[in-house]
Amino acid sequence: MKIIAVVSAKGGVGKTTATANLCAAFKQSGRNVLAVDLDPQNALHLHFGGDPQRIAGTSRATLTGQDWREISVSSPSGIVVMPYGAVNEHDRQSFERHLDAHPDWLHRNLRALDLGTEDLVVLDTPPGPSIYMRAALTAARLTVIVTLPDAASYATLPMMEGLVQTYCAMRPDFLGHVFVVNQVDNSRLLARDVLQVMRANFGERVVGVVHQDQSVSEALAFNQSVLDYDPRCQATLDYQACARNIEAMLPAFAPSP
């Protein structure tokens, strides 16, 4: 199993959308894919045709001791999704206390699923430092930082790199962190400039540029990945290219301990 965490310090940059569509692209390339939602917004499963009323998920399963296999849902294209689930405020706090007290919670539950060595697990996280981001960074072999091509997002990158440094860099099996620049509009000078600066600073670690594309929000309205909704649109091509670049890094992964 190869675990990829999708993170950002800033909210609303496209993490959940990137998680869903990278999963769709990995699946297209023949991988077994598990998408895990670690965000109380519980939005990831909606990209895969999930039922908005659904309450089962990792949060409640953790509190009740239910097996994760029983709460997973399969998308029409065969991606397995672990929703966060719907919990009341009291249960959310209990769940977060559990995560705080059990730093190996995520890794332990994923290992219990007996996934294949080449199977991919992609983790969606809430923005900014949180118990969920800590869990994701602690388990990840590769971290994907999603950012927008604007000054506000760019300014948060050192903080995000600091968190990666804190939770990942010490582990010999950690491959590194890469960047996906989302919502790029080439007609905007600022977007082109920020992209240029990012490429100059981070080189090949900028593994993906996803253009602003209305098919992205339309796809979510139809509870589909962009790849399924509009196979030929710009964003589909972008996510596919991004997934290829990430997969090209995977042979460097060591087997999970």
Ligand X SMILES: Nc1ncnc2c1ncn2[C@@H]1O[C@H](COP(=O)(O)OP(=O)(O)OP(=O)(O)O)[C@@H](O)[C@H]1O
Binding footprint of Mg ion on the chain (CB under 5 A): 15-16
| Cβ closest to Mg ion, residue 146 vs residue 249 | 146
Task: Count the helices and strands in the chain (H runs, E runs).
Answer: 10, 8
Q: How far is the CB of 196 from Mg ion (least distance, A)?
A: 27
Q: Does 182 bind ligand X (CB under 6 A)?
A: yes
Q: What CA–CA distances, in Å, run from 196 to 183, 216, 242?
A: 15, 24, 17
Instruction: Choose, by CB under 6 A, the member of 7, 9, 13, 71 that binds ligand X.
Output: 13
* Of the candidate residues 127, 136, 140, 178, the single one contacting ligand X (CB under 6 A): 127
Nearer to Mg ion, 39 or 119 (CB): 39
Tokens of 203: 């080189």
Report the distance separating Cα 118 and Cα 247, nearest Å. 11
* Residue 84 · residue 39 · CB < 8 Å: yes
Q: How many CA atoms lie within 13 A of 168 on its CB side?
A: 26
Nearer to Mg ion, 16 or 253 (CB): 16
Contact indicator for 77, 24 with CB cutoff of 8 Å: yes
Please identify which residue in 71, 160, 206, 235 interacts with ligand X, judged by CB under 6 A: 235
Determine if 164 is a binding residue for ligand X (CB under 6 A). Answer: no
Size of the site for ligand X (CB under 6 A): 21
Range in contact with ligand X (rule: CB under 6 A) among 14-22, 59-67, 83-91, 188-196: 14-22
Beta strands in the chain (DSSP E): 2-7, 33-37, 73-74, 80-82, 120-124, 142-147, 176-184, 206-211
User: Which one of residues 109, 147, 153, 183 is an interface residue with ligand X (CB under 6 A)?
Assistant: 183
Select 8 or 138, whichever has its Cβ closest to ligand X.
8
| Residue 52 contact among ligand X, Mg ion, none, beta carbon within 5 to 8 Å by kind | none
Residue pair 145/180 in contact by the 8 Å Cβ criterion:
yes
State how far the Cα of 238 lies from the Cα of 25, in Å rounded to an integer: 10
Nearer to ligand X among residue 12 and residue 158 (C-beta): 12
| Residue from 218, 210, 216 nearest 191 by CA | 210
Closer residue to ligand X (CB): 19 or 28: 19
Q: What is the three-class DSSP state of 131?
A: helix
Least Cβ distance, residue 58 to ligand X (angstroms): 16
Interaction of residue 212 with ligand X, rule CB under 6 A:
yes
List interacting residues with ligand X (CB under 6 A): 8, 11-17, 39, 41, 126-127, 182-183, 210, 212-213, 216-217, 220, 235
